[in-house]
Amino acid sequence: MKLKDKTVIVTGASRGLGEACSKALVQKGARVFGLARSLNKLNKIQHQI
């Protein structure tokens, strides 16, 4: 699947499977918009990727 320059929305992006998917999608070249209940955790993940 070609993901370079695609936009992806990930729910639950601040932990668990959502976090793992977000990281994998970014590595494949996708732009990820993460949604989560915890803004602090989401910001931490954003800085990691």
Q: Where are the domains of the chain?
A: 7-48
Q: Is the pTM of this model over 0.75?
A: yes
Question: What are 45's two structure tokens?
Answer: 């993940």
Contact 10, 32 (CB under 8 A): yes
Q: pLDDT of 1-49, one tens digit each?
A: 799 999 999 999 999 999 999 999 999 999 999 999 999 999 999 998 8
- C-alpha to C-alpha distances, 32 to 23, 44, nearest whole angstrom: 9, 14
